[in-house]
Amino acid sequence: MIDEEGAVPEAGEFAQRAEPFRRELLAHCYRLLGSADEAEDVVQETYLRAWRSYGTFEGRSSLRVWLYRIATNACLTALKNRGRRALPSGLGGPADDLDVPVGAEEADVAWLQPIADAPESQDPAAIVASREGLRLALIASLQYLPARQRAVFILREVLAFPAAEVADMLGTTVAAVKSTLQRARARLDEVDPERGRISEPTEPRTRELLGQYIAGFENADTAALERALRTDAAIELVGTRTWFSGRATCLRFLARVIGSPGDWRMIPTVANGQPAAAAYRRDDDGVYRAFGLGVLDVTDEGIARIVVFGGGPDLVGRFGLPPANPCP
């Protein structure tokens, strides 16, 4: 209800009740859209719509379910007539010839974006589940699903909403939800049949390998990088179609970009529930300026994949990091 001055009497109550769900709604919209920027916009839209309609909210479902319904349908609207967001490995085979320059950035491709990791739960199991639902490999695989299949899979498999609640959110039947989920699972098995658990960023082996990766870059030590990488390791350069497969090929590429000791500084962080490193490159004036972010798939056997996002100061700023001259 809106009073004569155009104010919503329940605004304070709405903010108090709805605000705790903002972060999880952001993660939900990111899973659907593959873009942190778009997810933030949709969450803002969701809260605006919910605030305007709060006076008519009758409590037939929980406030959380109601917010998810608004957010999910806003995402489905945003996904209409839009192609999937991609990583380089989803657009073609790996590069074989390192003598061919890395491709120029392609602005016409909708690229997958990373998202900062900020679990709020104090429950270790809940934190692990939240991180697993944000893995880059999962987000990239979800992009292959039609929008409604993507929504059903996320709501049922990642968030564990009951089928009846999902049906209500999407305006369909329980039978349709179950059928859609089966098709989504089958498609994901085709796209990534070897989906498996990667190591948590807090595990000692993970921290050790991230440290080796950072030291290898900062000290221009390709031997350290060789020890850290698995034999089947891959490197993807988001923004271009270029990616490399196999430790030998990856090391040849790294040898070309690693420079001399002191050319790079790195700050460990977490992105998409995975270990990551914000990279700063020294310019001719001696200033270390943000280059971007490397997100690592780490297993007990070594680093399996490095996905490089070259977003500069804007990207590292999303992770609460400085645009230049990080502490040595």
Residue-wise pLDDT for 287-328, tens only, equals 999 999 999 999 989 999 999 999 999 999 999 999 998 876
Is 327 inside any structural domain?
no
169 belongs to a structural domain? no
Closest to 145 in 3D by CA, of 159, 128, 157: 157
Q: How many domains does the chain have?
A: 2
Q: Is residue 313 part of a domain?
A: yes
* CB-CB contact of 240 with 88 (8 Å): yes
DSSP string, 142-199: HTTS-HHHHHHHIIIIIS---HHHHHHHHTS-HHHHHHHHHHHHHHHHHH-TT--PPP
Q: Is residue 155 part of a domain?
A: no
- Residue-wise pLDDT for 32-49, tens only, equals 999 999 999 999 999 999
CA distance 91 to 8: 49
Token pair, residue 214, equals 């950072």
Q: What is the pLDDT of residues 170-182, one digit of tens each?
A: 999 999 999 999 9
Assessment of whether the complete model's pTM goes beyond 0.75? yes
4 domain residue, yes or no: yes
Would you state the structure tokens that stand for residue 274, as one six-digit string?
Answer: 């995975």
CATH number of the domain that 74 lies in? 1.10.1740.10
pLDDT the model gives residue 1 = 39
CATH code at 293? 3.10.450.50
Instruction: State the residue range of the domain holding 307.
Output: 204-317
Cβ atoms of 9 and 3 within 8 Å: the answer is: yes
Burial class (CB in 10 A: 0-12, 13-18, 19+), 14: buried
- Residue where a domain terminates, one of 80, 106, 128: 80
Boundary of a domain, candidates 80, 102, 134: 80
Q: Which of 80, 104, 136 is the last residue of a domain?
A: 80
